[in-house]
Amino acid sequence: MICILAMVVFGIMGIFSASHRKLAKEAFDCVFRMMTLRPCNSTFDQRMKGKIVGKLINKSPKAAGFVNKNFKLLSTLMVIIFFISTIYSGIAIYNLGVHGTCDPEDPNTCVFTPEQIADDTCGDCGIVGCESDHNNCDSGECACEGPTCAE
């Protein structure tokens, strides 16, 4: 099961980092073997388990022992949580695009809407604790340290 999660994570990380491409290739191979009902290459699973437990053992030997004993169950739970969060994220993005809010039944639960983004053209300079001078919005300058307002 860890192969599925590793395929997604290392696939994305492999785009930006050459050191993760080998792991991504092994994870893709493992998932492909699982899809064709063949046994996964056990060295990949064992190596991932070893890396995770190896990092945990220095911090908490009890936690490392728990992870070592329940690795298959924990990896299955992580994959299930990954797919559930992906589905809910997709639904929220769909609702945001179609209805203009993340949750059409209760629009107040959405953190932002496209209208809020469009209306806030000169609200914040991007510097923590600094707001732009709304009188200077036409010139595109903020009253803080000079960065231009978001467009």
Q: Return the pLDDT at 116.
A: 52
Please check the confidence at residue 28 and state whether its pLDDT lies above 90: no
- Hey, where are the domains in the chain? 1-52, 120-151
- Nearest CA to 126 out of 92, 149, 96 is that of 149
Q: Return the pLDDT at 96.
A: 81
Mean pLDDT of the chain, nearest integer: 75
Please check the confidence at residue 123 and state whether its pLDDT lies above 70: no
Q: Largest alpha-carbon pair distance within the chain?
A: 67
Tens of pLDDT, residue by residue over 34-85, are: 788 887 766 778 888 999 999 999 999 999 999 999 998 998 899 899 899 9
- Residue 136 banded pLDDT, cuts 50, 70, 90: very low
Of all residues in the chain, what percent carry a pLDDT higher than 90? 18
Contacts of 64 (CB under 8 A, 6+ apart): 53, 56, 57
